[in-house]
Amino acid sequence: MDRATRKQRKREERARRRAARKESVLIQEFWNLPNMLTLGRIMLIPLFVWFTYDADPFYSLMAGVVFAVASITDVVDGYLARKWNLITVVGKFMDPLADKLIAMAALVMMVRLGRIAAWLVIVLLARELIVSGLRTIAASEGMVIAAGQEGKWKTSLQLVGIISLCVHYVHPLDLGFRVVTVDYNLVGKTLVYLSGAFSVWSAVVYFRAFLAMLARRGKPDAQNA
């Protein structure tokens, strides 16, 4: 058997092994519509950052549109995952990651443009790190800290506030019966400051819930008392 034939047979054998190899569970879980929407949300981040580099009214408006689309896909992919029973390990990892990445990118770019104070962004990002850390520790101990209403208010106010900050400029708004002039920067700042207050509140609630869980775990079982 010559050298060329041996190489050809080795290539064919490797091809057969690759064909027979099963895809990993994570790869199989990845290919569904909710996860694709989540991935699309992550891929919108460079486009959003590009729009926010130019602070003229048109690009600011487009940045607001991109962020709004990303926020809508967040709702849609969660709904579809629950409806079609497509809640996967990949989705559990990617969905909160996508949310935090685009929110962080938006807040950092708003500071760059001088549309919001840096200290407030530090508070908001610190809250996310603290809560994520508490959730990770709780999960490692088999505990689950449910999201409270104050956290949901924080998220809603922050999303609408960021969209308003992205638009930034004064634009007329047709209400149907009247046209009013809206200062979107003022609206955005107000909402994001309110979300900052809810962020601190929710972080305190999470921390108290975490300590309460630890205290309950430290007590002897009532049935064995």
Residue 1, in any domain of the structure: no
Q: What is the pTM of this model?
A: 0.81
Q: What integer pLDDT is reported at residue 19 of this predicted model?
A: 60
* Domain assignment of residue 39, given as a range: 32-218
Residue 170, in any domain of the structure: yes
Residue 2, in any domain of the structure: no
Average pLDDT, the chain: 85
- Contact of 144 with 134, CB cutoff 8 Å: no
- Contact of 150 with 205, CB cutoff 8 Å: yes
Cα–Cα distance for residue pair 195/187, rounded to 1 Å: 12
What is the maximum alpha-carbon separation in the chain? 88
Q: How confident is the model at residue 4 (pLDDT cuts 50, 70, 90)?
A: low
Residue 104, in any domain of the structure: yes
Percent of the chain with pLDDT over 90: 44
Residue 14, in any domain of the structure: no
Cα–Cα distance for residue pair 49/47, rounded to 1 Å: 5
The secondary element (H helix, E strand) that includes residue 153 is: helix 149-167
Residue 166's domain is classified under what CATH number? 1.20.120.1760
Cα–Cα distance for residue pair 88/54, rounded to 1 Å: 38
Number of domains the chain is built from:
1
pLDDT, tens digit, for every residue of 121-152?
Answer: 999 999 988 888 888 888 777 777 777 788 88
Residue 81, in any domain of the structure: yes
> Which range in 22-31, 75-84, 186-195, 198-207 is most confidently predicted, on average pLDDT?
186-195
The contacts of residue 80 (CB under 8 Å, 6+ apart) are 33, 34, 37, 86
